[in-house]
Chains A and B, each alone.
Chain A
Amino acid sequence: MTRFSASVHGWLLLLPALALLALFTHFPAAATLVDSFWSTPRGARGSVFIGLDNYQTMVEDPVFWTSLVNSTWFALGTIPLSIALAILMAVWVNDRIAGRTLVRMAYFTPTILPMIAVANIWLFFYTPQYGLLEQVLGAFGAPSHNWLGSQSTALICVIVVAIWKEAGFFMIFYLAALQQIPPHLAEAAALEGASRWTYFRRVQFPLLMPTTLFVLVNAVIGAFRTIDHVIVMTRGGPDNATSLLLFHLYQVGFSFWDTGYAAAITAVLLAILASLAFSQYFFLERRIHYR
Chain B
Amino acid sequence: MRRRSVLGGSAALAAGLLTRPALTQGAVEVSFFYPVAVGGPITKIIDGYAADFEKENPGIKVKPIYAGTYQETIVKALTAHKSGTPPVTSVLLSSDMFTLIDEDAIIPFEELAKGADDAAWIKSFYPAFMFNSQTGGKTWGIPFQRSTVVLYWNKDLFKEAGLDPEKPPADWAEQVAFAQKLTKREASGNASQWGIQVPSSGFPYWLFQGFTTQNGVELMNQAGDTTFFDKPEVIEALQYWVDLSRKHHVHPPGIVEWGTTPKDFFERKTAMMWTTTGNLTNVRKNAKFDFGVAMLPAGKRRGSPTGGGNFYIFKKSTPEQRAAALKFIKWITSPEHAAQWGIDTGYVAVRPDAWETPAMKKYVADFPPAAVARDQLPYAVAELSTHENQRVTKALNDGLQAALTGTKSAEQAMKDAQAEATRILRPYKR
Q: Which residues of A contact B (CB under 8 A)?
A: 28, 31-32, 35, 38, 41-44, 47, 63, 123-124, 127-130, 138, 141, 143-144, 146, 148-151, 234-235, 237-240, 251, 253-259, 262-263
A31 touches B6 (CB 8 A): yes
Residues of B within 8 Å of A141, CB to CB, are: 188
B26 touches A (CB below 8 Å): no
Which one of B4, B75, B254, B402 lies within 8 Å of A41 (CB-CB)? B4
Which residues of chain A have C-beta atoms less than 8 A from B3's C-beta?
A: 35, 38, 41, 47, 259
Scan B1-38; emit 1 where CB is below 8 A from any A CB, else 0: 10111111100000000000000000000000000000
Minimum CB–CB distance from B166 to chain A (whole Å) comes to 27
Query: Which segment, of B175-183, B289-297, B370-378, B393-401, faces chain A?
Result: B393-401
Known interface pairs A41-B3, A237-B202; 13 further A-B residue pairs with C-beta atoms within 8 A, sorted by A's residue number: A35-B6, A42-B104, A63-B398, A127-B263, A129-B252, A129-B264, A144-B190, A149-B256, A150-B255, A238-B254, A239-B401, A256-B388, A259-B3
In contact, B260 and A127 (Cβ under 8 angstroms): yes
Determine the residue in chain B with the shortest Cβ distance to A151. B405
Count residues on chain B whose CB falls below 8 Å from chain A CBs.
49
**Chain A hits for B188, CB < 8 A:** 141, 143
The A-contacting residues of B in range 379-420, CB under 8 angstroms, are: 388, 390-391, 394, 397-399, 401-402, 404-405, 407
Contact, CB under 8 Å: B257 / A149: yes
Does B401 lie within 8 Å of A138, measured CB to CB? Answer: no
Q: Provide the bound-state CA to CA distance between A149 and B201, in Å.
A: 8
Q: Is the CB of A237 within 8 A of B71?
A: no
Residues of B within 8 A of A262 (CB): 7
Residues of B within 8 A of A43 (CB): 101-105
From B200, B269, B401, B402, A129 is in contact (CB under 8 Å) with B269
B115 at the A interface (CB under 8 A): no
Contact residue among A38, A235, A259 (Cβ-Cβ distance under 8 Å from B201): A235
A residues in contact with B402, CB < 8 Å: 238-239
**Residue-by-residue, is B184-208 near A (CB-CB < 8 Å gives 1, otherwise 0)?**
0000111110000000111000000
Kindly provide the distance from the CB of A269 to the nearest chain B CB, expressed in whole angstroms.
13
Min C-beta distance of B13 to chain A, whole Å = 12
Q: Is the CB of A257 within 8 A of B405?
A: no
Query: Please, how many angstroms separate the alpha-carbon atoms of A141 and B187 in the complex?
Result: 11
Q: List 9 A-B contacts (CB under 8 A).
A: A43-B105, A44-B104, A123-B257, A143-B190, A144-B191, A150-B405, A237-B202, A237-B397, A254-B7
List residues of chain B with CB within 8 A of the CB of A128.
Answer: 252
Q: Tell me if A149 and B5 are in contact (CB < 8 A).
A: no
With contact pairs A31-B6, A41-B4 given, residues A146 and B255 touching in the complex (Cβ less than 8 Å): yes
Q: How far is the CB of B313 from chain A (nearest CB, A)?
A: 16
Chain A residues whose C-beta falls within 8 Å of the C-beta of B4 in the assembled complex: 41, 259
Cross-chain contact of A138 among B6, B102, B190 (Cβ < 8 A): B190
A130 contacts B267, C-beta separation under 8 Å = yes
Say yes or no: B257 contacts A127, CB within 8 Å. Answer: yes
Q: Which residues of B contact A127 (CB under 8 A)?
A: 257, 260, 263-264
- Flag whether B234 is at the interface (Cβ < 8 A): no
Inter-subunit contact A259/B254 (CB<8 Å) = no
Residues on B with C-beta less than 8 A from A149 are 200-201, 252-257, 405
User: A residues within 8 A CB of B137?
Assistant: none
Shortest Cβ distance from B97 into chain A, in angstroms? 14
Residues of A within 8 A of B260 (CB): 123-124, 127
* A38, B255: Cα distance in complex, Å: 38
Question: Closest Cβ of chain B: how far from A158's Cβ, in Å?
Answer: 14
Which of A63, A124, A257, A259 neighbours the largest number of chain B CB atoms within 10 Å of its CB? A257
